């Protein structure tokens, strides 16, 4: 058996820590970079080094920002509604719709006791403070429709109850383009419960 190359192992070890990259992809990527001119690996290295230097969390909503406030928080044309999301990636999904014109609040995850993530590990205290300070009319809970996302939404609903703010949850239902035949039962039940009057 061939002995290991330390410089290669170092790259493989770091790559394998990334999400969506297993040992095989890590090897493919490392071999690919070794076949390319050194400048390719160096450009990636430089971009990675600059990542944390240039980008920090928005001090108000914890979205990614190049300044103290992110571009959404510093846009005075935004409505006061606060949409609570798990991660910055969720903001992109909502912004891409072009249908939401309010602000965001990034929790940084969901309550997941099995993974050792409690309310104090999320930006929940900061959310309550913001609501007190900014006094929005509406808060939309847009955590995922997973067990943990639901539990977090319920937990927040309870916390927000004494506050003078209307709390919403994104609608459950059948995805656009789907058919009843192929939907899972739980989704059909929720779609029935949430049925909308058309006349």
Least spacing, CB of residue 188 vs a copy of itself, in Å: 28
Residue 108 binds a copy of itself, judged by CB under 8 A:
yes
Given the rule CB under 8 A, which of 36-44, 140-148, 155-163, 166-174 is the region that contacts a copy of itself? 36-44
Helix (H) or strand (E) holding 166: strand 166-169
Site string for a copy of itself, 109-148 (x = CB under 8 A): ----------------------------------------
Given the rule CB under 8 A, which of 2-10, 132-140, 151-159, 174-182 is the region that contacts a copy of itself? 2-10
| Residue 37 vs 175, nearer CB to a copy of itself | 37
Residue 8 binds a copy of itself, judged by CB under 8 A:
yes
Least spacing, CB of residue 78 vs a copy of itself, in Å: 11
Tokens 């994104």: give the residue.
Answer: 170
| Residue 5 vs 189, nearer CB to a copy of itself | 5
Site string for a copy of itself, 153-182 (x = CB under 8 A): ------------------------------
Helix (H) or strand (E) holding 184: none
- Counting every residue written for the chain, the total comes to 199
Q: Give 98-104 contacts, CB < 8 A, sequence gap 24+.
A: 101/77, 102/78, 102/136, 102/138, 102/140, 103/61, 103/72, 103/73, 103/78, 103/79, 103/136, 104/61, 104/63, 104/72
Site string for a copy of itself, 55-94 (x = CB under 8 A): x-------xxxx---xxx--------------xxx-xx--
* Backbone φ, ψ for residue 96 (5° rounding): -60, -25
On whether the CB atoms of residues 169 and 192 are closer than 8 A, the answer is: no
Euclidean distance between the first and the last CA atom of the chain, given in angstroms as a whole number? 74
On whether the CB atoms of residues 85 and 143 are closer than 8 A, the answer is: yes
- Which residue, 85, 38, 88, 98, is CA-closest to 63? 88
Q: Return residues touching a copy of itself (CB under 8 A).
A: 1-3, 5-8, 10-11, 13-15, 17-21, 25, 27-35, 38, 40-55, 63-66, 70-72, 87-89, 91-92, 95-96, 98, 108
């Amino acid at each position: 058996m061939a002995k290991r190359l330390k410089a290669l192992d170092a790259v493989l070890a770091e790559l394998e820590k990334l999400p969506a990259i297993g040992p095989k992809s890590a090897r493919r990527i490392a071999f690919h970079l070794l076949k390319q001119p050194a400048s390719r690996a160096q450009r990636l290295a430089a971009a990675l080094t600059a990542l944390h230097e240039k980008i920090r969390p928005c001090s108000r909503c914890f979205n990614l920002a190049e300044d103290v406030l992110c571009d959404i928080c510093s846009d005075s044309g935004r409505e006061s509604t606060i949409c609570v999301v798990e991660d910055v990636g969720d903001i992109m999904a909502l912004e891409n719709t072009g249908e939401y014109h309010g602000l965001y609040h990034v929790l940084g995850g969901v309550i997941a006791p099995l993974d050792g993530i409690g309310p104090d590990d999320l930006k929940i205290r900061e959310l309550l403070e913001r609501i007190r300070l900014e006094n929005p009319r509406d808060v939309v809970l847009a955590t995922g429709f997973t067990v943990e996302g639901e539990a977090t939404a319920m937990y927040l609903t309870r916390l927000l109850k004494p506050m003078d703010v209307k709390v919403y949850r994104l609608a459950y239902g059948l995805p656009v383009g789907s058919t009843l035949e192929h939907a899972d039962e739980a989704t059909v039940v929720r779609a029935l419960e949430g049925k909308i009057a058309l006349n």
